[in-house]
C-alpha cells in the first residue's frame, strides 16, 4: 500500500482544522434575542444579560404555563421555531436541557417586553397566538449556519 500524497495529507489536515474551529453561529431572531447552539443537541434562545441576571419574575399561570419576565434564556431546547418580530414562537423539549425548571411544550416570546411563556399545550399556545394576532405560524427546525473563528 502506498503512502498518501502530500496533497491528500494537506487536505485532510485542513478538513480536521475546519471541524475543530467551526461551529454553528448564533442567529438573531427578534429584538435582542438570538438562537444559540450550546452543543449538537441543545439549542437555546437567549438575550444578552443586562443588569442583575436574577432580576426576573417567575409566575405559574392557572393553565400551568410558566411566565418569565426579564429572564435571559428560554428553559428548554428548541426543536421548532418561527419568528414574526417582535414575537418568537416554537416548541421546546427538556432533552439536553440541564435545568430542573425546563418544561416541554410550546413557547411564545415577546422581545419588546421580554416576556417568555413556555410549557404550553397546543390549546393554550393557540390562545396566546390569537391574542397577538398571529395565526398558524410555520414552524421549522432550527438551522445551523456554519461559521469559523
Per-residue model confidence as pLDDT tens digits over 22-71: 667 777 888 778 887 777 777 888 876 644 444 445 556 666 665 555 55
Dihedrals φ, ψ of 49, to 5°? -70, 145
Average pLDDT over residues 93-118: 84
Every domain of the chain and the residues it spans: 27-148
Residues 47/115, Cβ–Cβ less than 8 Å:
no
Cell 397577538 belongs to residue: 132
Q: What is the pLDDT of residue 27?
A: 78
pTM: 0.70
Q: Cβ of 53: how many Cβ atoms within 10 Å? A: 11
Amino acid at each position: 500500500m502506498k503512502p498518501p500524497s502530500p496533497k491528500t495529507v494537506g487536505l485532510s489536515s485542513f478538513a480536521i482544522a475546519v471541524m475543530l474551529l467551526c461551529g454553528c453561529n448564533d442567529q438573531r431572531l427578534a429584538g435582542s434575542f438570538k438562537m444559540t447552539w450550546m452543543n449538537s443537541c441543545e439549542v437555546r434562545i437567549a438575550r444578552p444579560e443586562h443588569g442583575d441576571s436574577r432580576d426576573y419574575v417567575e409566575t405559574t399561570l392557572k393553565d400551568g404555563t410558566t411566565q418569565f419576565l426579564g429572564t435571559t434564556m428560554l428553559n428548554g431546547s428548541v426543536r421548532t421555531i418561527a419568528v414574526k418580530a417582535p414575537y418568537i414562537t416554537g416548541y421546546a423539549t427538556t432533552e439536553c436541557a440541564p435545568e430542573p425548571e425546563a418544561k416541554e411544550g410550546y413557547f411564545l416570546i415577546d422581545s419588546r417586553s421580554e416576556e417568555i411563556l413556555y410549557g404550553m399545550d397546543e390549546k393554550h399556545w393557540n390562545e396566546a397566538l390569537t391574542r397577538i394576532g398571529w395565526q398558524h405560524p410555520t414552524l421549522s427546525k432550527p438551522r445551523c449556519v456554519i461559521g469559523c473563528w
